[in-house]
Structure formats: C-alpha cells, structure tokens
Chains A and B, each alone.
Chain A
Amino acid sequence: MTTEAADPTETVGAIAPAADPGFLQRHGATIEYILIPGAALAGALVVFGIFVAMFGKNPLDLYFYMYYGAFGTWFSWQNTLTRAAPLILTALCTALPAQLGMVIIGGEGALLIGALSATSAALALQGMPPFIVQIAMVCAGVIGGGLWIMLAGALRQYRGVNETISSLLLVYIALAILNHLVEGAMRDPASLNKPSTREIGAANMIGSIPGTDVHWGLVFGLIAATAAYILIYHTVFGFAARVAGGNIRAAKIVGLGVSKLILTICFLAGGAAGLAGMVEVAAVQGRTNANLAAGYGFTGILVAFLARQNPLAIIPVAILLGGISASGGLLQRRLGLPDASVLVLQGIIFVFVLASDALYGRIGFLKGKS
C-alpha cells in the first residue's frame, strides 16, 4: 500500500518547498552519524569503567589518565598521532570495499605483505639515492598490499568465495610468509633473538614531520583518506561503485562492469593497508620482523565501522582510537592495569558499535514527518 495520496507535502511534477521542518529533522541523518557512534563510545567507556572498578580502581582516575595519556600533553598528542597514522590507512582497507557492499577484514595481511614488499624493494635498491628508494618502497608496498586484497576480491567475484572469510584467512597466510622469509631467505644473520630482515638503512627512513616526532605516515594517511573520499563521492568511478554497492541488480541493468569495480576497489583498499606496512617499516621499525603484526590491521576494522565507512570520518576516529592505544602505557604505570586493558576496551567498543547499528533511522525526535 502506498501513502501517495495522503502526503500533503507532495506535489505533482514540481519541487515543493518542503514544509519547514525543525533543525533537528533537517539534519537528522547527520546528527545520527555523530550521536549514535558517540553514544556507543560513551556506553563502552562506562562498561569499561565497571570492568576497571572490579579491579578495585577508581573509574574516574581511569578516564582522567586515558585523556591525559592520549591528548593531555604535546608528547601524548604526538604519540597518539603516530599510532593514528597506520590506523587511517588500514581503516581504508575496510571502508573502501564497504562502498561495494563487501566486508573485508584482512587489512592486517595486506599491511604485512606491504611491509615485506617495501623492505624487499629497499634492500634490492641499496646504494641508490634515498629519494628513489623511498618512492620504490611506496610503490612496492601499495602494489603488494593491493594485490593481496585483490586476491580476496577475485576469489569472491570469480569463485564465489566469501570475501570476509578469505581476507581473514589471507592474514594468516601473510603472517606465515613473513615468518618464513625473515627466518629463512631474508634473515639478517646478525638478528639472533628476534629474526628480522636486514635494515633498510637510516638514509632511506622517511623521518618525521619537521618540528614534531610524528612521522610522515600521518600525512600519507590524511592524503589517502581525502583522496578516497573524493574518489567515492565526486568521481564517476566512485558513483559506479556506490551504485554497485547499493544494488548489484541495478548496476547490472545499466551495464556497469561489476568485476572491474570490485578488483579496482580491492586493489586500492589493499594498497592503503600495504602503504601502512611500508610506513611502519620506513618510519618506525627500519626492518621487517614479526613486530609488524601489532594489530593495526584489526584495529583498522574497528575504526572503519566506527566511522561508518566514511573515508573522511576515519581521520578523527583513527586519532581517537590511536589515543586510546597511546594511553595504554600510562594506565599500566599509574593504575597498575595490565597493558592489554586497552584491548578489552577496544573489544567493548566494537560490540557497542555493532549493536548501535540497529538504531539508525529509529530515533524519534530526529524523524521528519513522512
């Protein structure tokens, strides 16, 4: 049954000046996008407070130290931003395929492969000018990570393999490849306790943004997220992707090449995570070893969902989550909480965010009369 006849604000064949709804109704959707994740975050913090109280700690102290450790000082800000940089990139690995309706959770694998590729490129080009090496590392990282996730996309498109499962399993394959290489063919004989590749060389490191201790990876992340936003919302390619993601049948009926869209988007997504791996090597670790599997790829999933898969919203959310992880050390020192406590918080946040998804469009005072 349609409500066509009864809607007084509809007019035939013309754009009706909408009956002036209130501010809340006009911006209902936008407010929801801020209010609901915000409330989910607040709810998670309350539950985490209860969790901490069970250890006999004061939750208010907890919140203060979390804030202080994340955003309280210039030092903590820099720590936060350094951690946010790879999160922005790995979040894109989930957010870009989400535009096509795909759930990719294998950013960690693309990060590892990207790191491995970038390290290989640097080691192969030893002696070349640093600028050339750095460019080669970026390309290698993006291509390596990109092909890795493209594999998950191709499996889905041509073999009907669920991309969520395959991308997750590819993480373990990536980790196994990485371990195999750093303990075998690529191992630096000098690395005894922690098998690693040889160093890429101090000259080839990308360094920090002048005047800070934050490395250039943050700029890479900001550029990538902005470019992803422009790609999705302002280009022909992004429009086609949104059509295919919104309704695959509609995309086919207007003849859009869905396979090409899937493969390209998956490549770009994996490329972003691969770039994160390159940044971790070229700005932090200086070499590839098992330390790289630090969970940035998995936290990136959380960032993407909290940002509702919007590439621009990923930036503040990644900074927030980077802050939470940055405060972990302080919580350990001041409150005597285990370092892994922040992982508990991340888990709680994830559950709240997923559950809050059911609230969109159901908040009474934001609904217009329809």
Chain B
Amino acid sequence: MIVGEPLPPSGAFGVNAIAMTMRFGDFLALDNVELKVRPGSFHALLGENGAGKSTLVKCIMGYYHATEGDIIIGDREQAIANPKDAHALGLGMVYQHFTLVPAMTVAENLVLARDDVPVVVDWSKEMKELESFLARMPFKVPLGAKVSDISAGERQKCEILKQLYLKRRFLILDEPTSVLTPAEADEVLGMLRNMVVKGELTILMITHKFREVMAFADDVTILRRGKLAGAGKVSELTPDAMARTMIGAEELTVQPPRTGEAGQARLELAKVRALDDAGAIAVHDVSLTVRAGEIVGIAGVSGNGQRQLVEVLAGQRESESGEIRVVGDPYHASREEMRRHKMSLLPEEPLKNACVGGMSVADNIAFREFDRAPFASGGWWLNRGAFRDDAKKKIGQYKIKTRTPDTPISALSGGNVQRAVLARELGGDVEVLIAANPCFGLDFAAVAQIHAEIMAARNRGAAVLLVSEDLDELLELSDRLVVMFHGEFVYEARTSEADLTVVGRHMAGH
C-alpha cells in the first residue's frame, strides 16, 4: 500500500492506474494496463472499440472493481468502492450522452446534481452563488434557460460546468465531442485546455479523433485489445504513428481511388416531408438529386431529421407529402421496386434496423434474395443448402467473424453484424445505395472495409446517399456535401470546395 501525502485542497492532481487487470468471466477486458496522468495535464486515451478504454475509466470511477491493480490518486493509493467515493476524491466524468433533465432549467440541473440538495431550495441565494461561480468559469451558459431549448454545444458545456460546480478536479471525458460541430468542439476543448494550463484541472479524454488529440492533448495512452499498446508525449508523435499503434499489425482494406464521372439522375427527392414519432415535422419539404456515380453526403448534428429521412427511404416510415423517384419511377419502398432498381440500404445500428437477432447469419444474409432461385425452388420451397453455400462464400469474402453460418447473428460483434449486412446489401449489383452512419461504433478494420466498399460501389456507377454524423467520413467519401438542420437542407457544396467553418456554422444553424 502506497501511503503518500493526502490531496491538496484545491488545484489539479494526477491519477496513476497500475497493473490494471479486469476479467469478465473468461474474457480479459484489461490485461496489465498502466495509465499515468500527470497533474495539470490534458491526457488523451485512444483505442478502437473494445480496446478497453471504457472499462479502464469505469474502474477508476468505481463502477467496476478491477480484478487486479491499484489506483493512486495524487500520491496516495485509494480503494474506490463506488462512484460516490470517486466523487468525494474530486473525480468526475462526462458521458458521451447527456445526463441533464431536459424539462428543467440549467440552474435547476446544476443544483439538482449536488449531493446535499436542501429540502427547500432558497433559489435567490442559489442563483447568486451560481452567478458568482459562473463568473469564475471560462464558459457561459444561460442559467434560466430550459435544457431542452439550448443547443447541443451548450448542453455539453453544462455537463462540464456541472462537474466543475461539484468541485471535481480530475475530469474524465468520454468522447465529449461526438455530438458537437467542429467549431463547438474546438471552443469547449480550448476552454478546458486553458483551465488545465492554469493548473486548476486535470483531464483524461477518451476519443478516436486524432485532430483533437494533436490540437489539445499533452500526453496520450493507446490501448489495443485490452493491452497497453503505447504511451507518450503528443508533441513527439504523428497521427500516423498513433493510428498504427492503435490498430497493430492488422491489414486494413485499401480504399479504391475515386474514378469516373457522375451520370444521370438516379434518386430524386421532391419536397419530401416526414413526421417524427411525436407527430412533429422532422423532414421539412426537402428536395435532392443523387446521380449515378456520385456520393452525396448529408451532414448534420444528430436529431435534425436525418434519421426520419433515411427511414422514409428505407420503407420504415411513411412520408407525409412529396415524391421520391428512382430512375424516374415513383418509389414507395416496395420489395419489387427495390429489386428492380437494385437498391441497397446500410442503416445505422444494423442489428436493430436490418437484422433479425434470433435468426442465423446465413438467414440474415439471404433476406434480399430468399424468395428467388437458388434460395427458393419453384418460388416457395426454401432450399437450405443454397442458404448455407451462399453464406459460406460471403462470410469468406467479407471477412465476417462467426463460428458457423448457423450462429444467431445477435451473437456477433457490431462490426461483424455490419459486415454481414454489407455482404447482403453489396453482394450483388447496386444501382442506388443509401447508407446511414454505416460505421458508427465500429473498429478501424470494419470502417476501412465499409468505406472501401462504398467507394467501390460509387466507382461502379451506383448513386450513393451517405447520411453521417461523422464529418470526417463525409469529407473523405462524398462528392457533394449537403447540411441538414431542423429538417431542411441549409447548405450544399462540392466537397472539394466546401469550407469547414461554413459547414460547421450551418450544422449549428447559423
């Protein structure tokens, strides 16, 4: 047991996690990992999905108890039994998704988060204290505004302010910028960086965006498959070197170069309107043309109608008005139309949107073709052998990791479920491809493979509509970029000519 000095009453402190091992049953999530965060530094924790980043910070925050290993806060070894212990030591965490109550004001949310909320809150006194607290803080938020009325960027600031208000001095941020526009991300991280420089705060940020690591972090720790893959000063590293450390020796699919010119219009949307589940207008009379051999990217912060638009195109939601045409023919997402126009769909969250979890991998791969030869004899009798043969071929071709073709698809990891959907949707000819956040939450190898497949489909002459919340993905793949905000297309440009700051401004609605 290391017994050092107790923590100083204010200012930043460091955290060391030593020889951390975490087992879940037979599964080794962390294998002898070390993480050293210096006091008053901005530390980035990099790694692919499943590399053990979340497990590691959850051990530090007391959500998990590490099988082996010690956590040293400041200079003293601490047993952190639960998140409350962590909070008492001044450790705080900001999650990827918001934890604010939307129907309450910012001030109410801040006071609510305290452990010692009095039975009767003296609001005039609290407001005075909150105002003086805000005056010391680098960012401002409107205290009286309802959380539901403020932007995603302001909400993320509230989350961070909440941690500071609770006097946390070591902040863990779990992919804090995934809901922000690039400008908002830079603003929030820049302000936090200033507090770190002043010695008020230590930050440990989980991320997969190299740009943010290069711009804001001092040190970086990289995990790969539950093991420490590397650590060092950011100033001595390049994004390439970090990426190689993250991925290891795994071969990534090489994306084919962009070739060919856009042809005639394949997918046309004319004043399409759709409602969300609550009956509000989510897609507001949008019009768009996607031509053969081009990728049109739709950018936007999550929740601006992209999901409803894709659902209309996928046949999962009825449009209210407007018209969709594919190669000139009206389109209502019927099987016959999808087949005639060789349409493919890669939806987000494939297990929820495109697969039946309890059915086998082979069955799921056959969803588009099961009612035709060779899968069906005479148009009605299922030919099981054909299912298995086709699945075996595609499992090899698309590198799907599964024990057998008969394994239920829900037993596969996210990347492999998406590979199976990829095999089904892109296994044949494609003339129109609609993809929505196809790489969300997937590892590098899967992302590279999916990007290569989308580009290859484009080069073969498919019209591709790519809806994504990941701006980098859109900039990499699309020929044209459209920004969606509050259900409308507010900006359009050729990707090669698009100005990132202008795109970001439109994403935020300015």
Contact = CB atoms under 8 A, between A and B. Distances in A.
A18 B402 CA distance: 10
Contacts of A255: 315, 333-339
A3 B371 CA distance: 34
A247 B370 CA distance: 16
Contact of A246 (B55, B358, B392, B397): B358
Interface residues of B, number: 60
B403 interface: yes
A11 interface: yes
B382 A13 contact: no
Interface string B172-191: 00000000000000000000
A249 B396 contact: no
B461 to A, nearest CB: 22
Contacts of A13: 395-401
A9 B28 contact: no
B316 A252 contact: yes
Contacts of A172: none
B304 interface: no
Given A249-B353, A252-B315, A4 B359 contact: no
A61 interface: no
Given A1-B54, A254-B338, A15 B395 contact: yes
B303 to A, nearest CB: 19
Contacts, number: 126
Interface stretch (A42-50, A231-239, A306-314, A318-326): A231-239
Given A242-B356, A249-B316, A253-B314, A16 B367 contact: no
A307 to B, nearest CB: 17
Contacts of A190: none
A12 interface: yes
A247 B356 contact: yes
B370 A237 contact: no
Interface stretch (B267-275, B288-296, B410-418): B410-418
B302 interface: no
B357 interface: yes
Contacts of B54: 1
A240 interface: yes
A230 to B, nearest CB: 9
B503 interface: no
B335 A246 contact: no
Interface string B191-203: 0000000000000
A253 B359 contact: no
B266 interface: no
A284 B403 CA distance: 53
Contact of A1 (B26, B29, B337, B415): B29
A239 B363 contact: yes
A6 interface: yes
A257 B356 contact: no
B287 interface: no
Contacts of B404: 15, 18
A369 B51 CA distance: 21
Contacts of A11: 401
B374 to A, nearest CB: 13
Contact of B355 (A5, A234, A247): A247
B487 to A, nearest CB: 21
A246 B357 CA distance: 7
A253 B354 contact: yes
A257 B380 CA distance: 16
B413 A3 contact: yes
A250 interface: yes
B97 interface: no
Contacts of B358: 246
Interface in B385-435: 392, 395-405, 411, 413-416
Contacts of A294: none
A357 interface: no
B352 interface: yes
Contacts of B381: 234-236
Interface string B7-37: 0000000000000000000111100000000
Nearest to A238: B382
Given A234-B382, A253-B315, A255-B335, A4 B416 contact: yes
A14 interface: yes
Contacts of B55: 1
A206 B284 CA distance: 64
Nearest to A4: B413
A301 interface: no
B335 A6 contact: no
A14 B396 contact: yes
B226 to A, nearest CB: 7
Contacts of A15: 392, 395, 402-405
B318 to A, nearest CB: 11
A2 interface: yes
A250 B50 contact: no
B225 interface: yes
A166 to B, nearest CB: 23
A242 B359 contact: yes
A10 interface: yes
A252 B380 CA distance: 20
A256 interface: yes
B347 interface: yes
A250 B358 CA distance: 12
Contacts of A96: none
A11 B358 CA distance: 22
Given A10-B402, A239-B382, A252 B370 contact: no
Nearest to A235: B380
B403 A18 contact: yes
A311 to B, nearest CB: 16
B225 A6 contact: yes
Nearest to B349: A249
Nearest to B404: A15
A278 interface: no
A130 to B, nearest CB: 34
Contact of B414 (A2, A18, A246): A2
Interface of B: 26-29, 49-52, 54-55, 225-226, 314-316, 333-339, 345, 347, 352-359, 363, 367-368, 370-371, 376, 379-382, 392, 395-405, 411, 413-416, 443
| 7 interchain residue pairs of minimum CB distance | A255-B335, A246-B356, A2-B413, A5-B225, A2-B50, A4-B413, A13-B399
5 contacts: A9-B403, A236-B371, A238-B382, A246-B357, A246-B359
Given A13-B396, A255-B333, 4 more contacts: A236-B370, A253-B315, A256-B335, A370-B411
